[in-house]
Chains A and B, each alone.
Chain A
Amino acid sequence: MRMRKSSLFIAFTTGSVVCLALLFAHGAAERRDQAPVINEKRSIVERLGLTDLCLFTDARYTRNPAMADRSTPFQDNPMSLDYFPSGSVLAPPPHLRSYALD
């Protein structure tokens, strides 16, 4: 007997939802398993007094964006432009856009 198209659609959608639920369950398990790894990273940050994540290593103001100042991307020479690709991905930190600390 041929299966109805609606039955196939319901089966496919249910299968996808179950698959997604399993992936989210994997996420929950992974968070639990990765807790010691996150603690290890936090202890490295604490011991070495780090301030930033190591996401970009090409420019110093994107390696440590929290430590950068306003002119860092443009200070190589007068009229210098920001030429590092990571500089176009990383927005300036909010505290550099605030004048409260000036």
Chain B
Amino acid sequence: MRWIDRQRNIVDFSLSSLLRRWKKNLALLCVYTFVVFIVASVVFFAEALKREAALVLEGAPDVVVQRLVAGRHDLISSAHMEKLSRITGVSDVKGRLWAYYFEPSVGANYTMVVSEESSARPGAVAIGAGVSRTLGAGEGDIISFRAHDGTYVGLEVARVFSASSELVAADLVEISAADFRSLFGVPESIYTDLTLRVRNPKETIVVADKIRRLLPDTRPILRAEMLRTYEALFDWRGGLVLAVFAGAALAFIIFAWDKATSLTLEERRELGILKAVGWETSEVILLKSWEGITISLTAFLLGLILAYVHVFFTSGTLFEPVLKGWAVLYPRFQPVPFIDPYQVATLFFLTVVPYTLATIIPSWGAATIDPDTIMRQ
């Protein structure tokens, strides 16, 4: 109890000391909270999308086989399908028909896809919520697409994918194979690329190797590689997240540098007076530790709360311009909160500890000097 009383007295004193310079400390708290908010927002957003990508892409094909001609992705024929189906361990080789379509009236890019069990009958399409939003089209409306020969093909909207599926389907136009081929002039037995299933997942790499040797003009892409694409995109030790971290780290270094070099004359005199009235060096360091902890812990907690609200209640509004780029069609999605305690702990150690240390070190230097010398400065 005595120990707690002693700590509380020191906290009382440190808060009074902070309040004496309340304008400076309030500004510091606001900037500090903002830095924690930005870093935590990026970490929450990235982790949520990474985990969701891993769950959602579990349904992706085991292997996609692309044909490359002159360094570019090219259409592939059904002759390749026959060769692939002869590889041991391969099952269910399918031709995939998909394409990009630019809609000049709204300036948006759509992804046209065909599925075997297509819900879209010839003459009808199923569209993503983003397509529906940009075109202002709903179920029963007719949408015109410009075909490869310059004619316009009108297709009825049979279904709009739910708004909650925008993360995968915002720009999709699901179309029948017959309409796809007539729209893009793709002949029968030609596909955009091929997909296949591998019976034993452990053999996927062996199968990919066989594909490369059997069909040298093709490139197999494994599901594991698709997943790694998103892991790399949202990995907080690299790419986009690291760029934000680097900015935040720089801000912290400036904080720490400022703290370490700018113990004001007033602050030094205060420490001298405390030493002169009988405070021990350890008590002065404790006082300064509490000042650092008060500021950094408050900034950490406020920053974390604001980041959570920003990412999971307002869908990361501040990141919208970054993700939007030049796109007219921007997917609106609400990230599912996947929070990794390891990341929260790392954020704590990256924000609270350095600042507290940066507060203590110069004070320790000042507290060990003779009080008389400090007060005469």
Which residues of A are interface residues toward B (Cβ below 8 A)?
4-6, 8-9, 12-13, 16-17, 19-20, 23-24, 26-28, 30-31, 34, 37-38, 40-60, 62-67, 69, 71-72, 75, 84-86, 89-91, 93-95, 101
Specify which chain B residues have a CB less than 8 angstroms from the CB of A91 in the assembled complex.
232-233, 238-240
Taking CB atoms, residues of chain B closer than 8 Å to A16 are 298, 301-302, 305
A49 to chain B, nearest CB (A): 5
- On whether the beta carbons of A13 and B55 are closer than 8 Å, the reply is no
Query: Is A38 a contact of B15 with CB atoms below 8 Å?
Result: no
User: CB-defined interface of B152-171 with A at 8 Å, one 1/0 digit per residue?
Assistant: 00000000011011111111
Q: Is B297 an interface residue (CB 8 A)?
A: yes
Nearest A residue to B53 via CB reads A53
A47 touches B115 (CB 8 A): yes
Subset of 24 A-B contacts with CB under 8 Å: A17-B301, A23-B309, A26-B312, A27-B308, A27-B338, A30-B337, A31-B336, A45-B57, A48-B172, A53-B57, A57-B130, A57-B170, A57-B328, A57-B329, A63-B100, A63-B109, A66-B226, A71-B72, A84-B326, A89-B323, A93-B232, A94-B225, A95-B228, A101-B212
* B336 with A45: CB separation less than 8 A: no
Q: Which of A42, A48, A57, A64 contacts B108 (CB 8 A)?
A: A57
* Nearest CB in chain B: distance from A42 CB, A: 4
Q: Are A37 and B239 in contact (CB under 8 A)?
A: no
Residues B1-54 near A (CB distance < 8 A): 8-9, 11-12, 15-16, 19, 49, 52-53
Residue contact B326 to A44, C-beta cutoff 8 Å = no
Question: Which of B16, B130, B166, B239 has a CB less than 8 Å from the CB of A5?
Answer: B16
Determine the chain A residues whose CB is within 8 A of the CB of B187 once the complex forms.
none
Which residues of B are interface residues toward A (Cβ below 8 A)?
8-9, 11-12, 15-16, 19, 49, 52-53, 55-61, 64, 66, 68, 71-73, 94, 96, 100, 108-109, 111, 113, 115, 117, 128, 130, 161-162, 164-172, 174, 193, 195, 208, 212, 219-222, 225-226, 228-230, 232-233, 238-240, 294, 297-298, 301-302, 304-305, 308-309, 312, 322-323, 325-331, 336-339
Using A13-B297, A57-B329, A65-B233 as known contacts, say yes or no to A42 and B61 having CB atoms under 8 A apart. no
Known contacts A45-B57, A48-B172, A91-B233; is-contact A56 B239 (Cβ 8 Å): no
Please, which residues of chain B bring their CB within 8 A of the CB of A51? 57, 60-61, 64, 221, 226
Query: In the complex, A64→B171 CA distance in Å?
Result: 12
A54-B171, A67-B221 known; 14 new pairs, CB 8 Å cut-off, are: A9-B11, A16-B301, A34-B336, A40-B162, A54-B172, A64-B111, A65-B233, A66-B221, A71-B72, A91-B239, A91-B240, A93-B232, A94-B225, A94-B229
Chain A residues contacting B168 (CB-CB under 8 Å) are 41, 44-45, 50, 53-54
From A17, A55, A75, give the contact of B72 (CB < 8 A). Answer: A75
A-side contacts of B238, CB under 8 Å: 91
Q: Within the assembled complex, what's the spacing in Å between the Cα atoms of A55 and B329?
A: 10
Q: Which residues of A contact B323 (CB under 8 A)?
A: 55-56, 86, 89
The docked-state distance in angstroms from the alpha carbon of A30 to that of B336 is 7
Given A50-B168, A67-B64, A23 contacting B71 (CB threshold 8 A)? no
Instruction: Please measure, in the bound complex, the distance between the C-alpha atom of A71 and the C-alpha atom of B212, giving whole angstroms.
Output: 19
Is B73 a contact partner of A27 (Cβ separation < 8 A)?
no
B337 touches A26 (CB 8 A): yes
A12 to B294, CA, bound (A): 11
Complex Cα gap A50–B8 (Å)? 59
**Inter-chain contacts of B68 with A (CB < 8 A):** 69
CB of B225 within 8 A of CB of A30, answer no
Complex Cα gap A94–B12 (Å): 53
Of A6, A48, A94, the contact of B11 (CB 8 Å cutoff):
A6
Taking CB atoms, residues of chain B closer than 8 Å to A89 are 240, 322-323, 325
Decide: B66 and A67 in contact? CB cutoff 8 A.
Answer: yes
Distance (Å) between the CB of B278 and the closest chain A CB? 21
Contact of A42 among B15, B58, B170 (CB under 8 A): B58
* CB–CB B336/A57 < 8 A: no
Selected from B53, B164, B301, the residue in CB contact (under 8 A) with A37 is B164
Q: Are B170 and A54 in contact (CB under 8 A)?
A: yes
